[in-house]
Amino acid sequence: MSTLKDVAKKANVSVATASYVMNGSDLITKQTKEKVLLAAKEIGYRPNGNAKNLKKNKTNIIGLFLSGFTGPFFNELLEGIQVAVIKRGYEMVVCASDDKHRLLVERYVDGAIILNYHISNELLDSLASEKFPIVVLDRELENPHVKEVLLPNKHGMDYTVSHLVEQGHKRIGFIAGSRESFDGESRLEGFRESLSKHDLPFKETDLIRADFTEISGLLCMAKFLEENENYPTAFVSANDEMAMGAIKASQQTGLKVPDDIAFVGFDDIDLSRYVQPALTTVRVQKKQWGQTAAEALFAMLQKKEGIDEAEIPIEFIPRQSS
């Protein structure tokens, strides 16, 4: 593989000059510039990113660290981060890990956004620094170089429960996702809190554990209805997909939604307004979430202090399922 040295030799200049040319310095005269560029092309030169990074002590890459690619995988979130990152002239890489977290630890990136329950708080504490800021999307963490950018899940649950209470519901169930999800659990927690604000009890047996997929919602709800002939008049779901599945299951059992049983989702995915009945839900700006996360990271990277705690906007969307 050819290097800058090869280019320099071919163009009859020093490697310093070649380097300046490759980086578009304006000290270099036009004709040497062309000479070098031509040589580089002829020889098929590709810069070596590792050497660059090593020298500059900087990669211009930020990393998004996920726990995996299955499960609730937020395309919009990725898109939001990507947009913000590109705007800053950086690149983004996303990777999944459950063990060594090599890409996170070995300084391949200038900063990290974390949504990975396999990564411990201790590790993050030991990594975060002035030079290596971190944004967490899935936990609370007190550290000057770590910033939390969290969804206002509890806020959303307040809307939801108030709405349901207004409609006269007294016994409300909950469809939860997998326990590893910070958002899922904080929605459940928020649900519990909102319920008690309204002096309503929660029967633990009305808690259904699914795994965020539509099909798990369908299956678990079907099972629930089969086992309990006495059921809540309403269910809150930790996301839209499960709510949709649960609605299908209820309908297949002959129940009318929302008359016999009401459902409220969370997220407002595109499909929610098109299903029958259209799904009541809480709209979450996932793309905005990603963007905010990236912005927060860049703010730390540039030591700008005054980043105001931007809340991710949410909105309650009443539709026909409740």
When asked if residue 319 is in the footprint of a second copy (CB under 8 A), the reply is no
Contact 316, 163 (CB under 8 A): yes
Reported as half-sphere exposure (CB side, CA atoms, 13 A), residue 281 has a value of 25
Helix (H, G, I), strand (E, B) or coil at 205: helix
As a whole number of angstroms, the distance between CA 183 and CA 160 comes to: 16
Stretch that binds DNA, among 13-21, 139-147, 204-212, 224-232 (CB under 7 A): 13-21
In the complex, minimum distance from the CB of residue 175 to a second copy, in angstroms, rounded to a whole number: 16
Task: Residue 76: name its binding partner from DNA, a second copy, none (Cβ under 5 to 8 Å by kind).
Answer: a second copy
CB 40 within 8 A of CB 22: yes
Using CB under 7 A as the binding rule, whether residue 75 contacts DNA is answered as: no
Contact between 86 and DNA (CB under 7 A)?
Answer: no
Report the partner that residue 170 touches, choosing among DNA, a second copy, none (CB closer than 5 to 8 A by kind).
none
17 forms part of the interface with DNA (CB under 7 A): yes
**Does residue 49 belong to the site contacting a second copy (CB under 8 A)?**
yes
Fill in the per-residue mask, 214 to 243: x = in contact with a second copy (CB under 8 A), - = not in contact. xx--x-------------------------
Q: Is residue 67 within 8 Å of 35, Cβ to Cβ? A: no
How does DSSP classify residue 311? P
Contacts of 292 (CB under 8 A, 6+ apart): 80, 149, 310, 312
Residue environment code for 142-168, b if the CB has 16+ CB neighbours within 10 A, otherwise e? ebebbbbbbbbbbbbbbbbbebbbeee
Note whether 48 binds a second copy by CB under 8 A.
Answer: yes
Rounded to the nearest whole angstrom, what is the least distance from the CB of residue 58 to DNA in the complex? 8
Cβ at position 49, least distance to a second copy in Å:
3
Min dist. Cβ of residue 10 to a second copy (A): 17
**CA 316 to CA 283: how far, in whole Å?**
6
Task: Supply the minimum distance, in Å, between the C-beta of residue 244 and a second copy.
Answer: 9
Which residue's entry shows tokens 């409740």?
322
Exactly one of 9, 37, 43, 52 binds DNA (CB under 7 A); that residue is 52
Task: Return the residue of 9, 10, 27, 206 that touches DNA, per CB under 7 A.
Answer: 27
Q: Which of 19, 311, 316 is nearest to 148 (CA)?
A: 311
What does the block give as tokens for 4? Answer: 């800058």
| Subset of 264-303 contacting a second copy (CB under 8 A) | 270-271, 274
Nearer to DNA, 32 or 97 (CB): 32
- Which does residue 20 touch among DNA, a second copy, none (CB within 5 to 8 A, set by kind)? DNA
Structure token pair of residue 311: 């809340």
Residue 169 lies near a second copy (rule: CB under 8 A):
no
Residue with smaller CB distance to DNA, 54 or 86: 54
What is the DSSP secondary structure assignment for residue 280, as one 8-state letter? B
Euclidean distance between CA atoms 237 and 217, whole angstroms: 9
Position 190, amino acid:
G
Binding site for a second copy (CB under 8 A): 1, 44, 46-54, 59, 61, 68-70, 73, 75-76, 78-79, 82, 91-97, 102-103, 105-108, 126-127, 129, 131, 213-215, 218, 245, 248, 270-271, 274
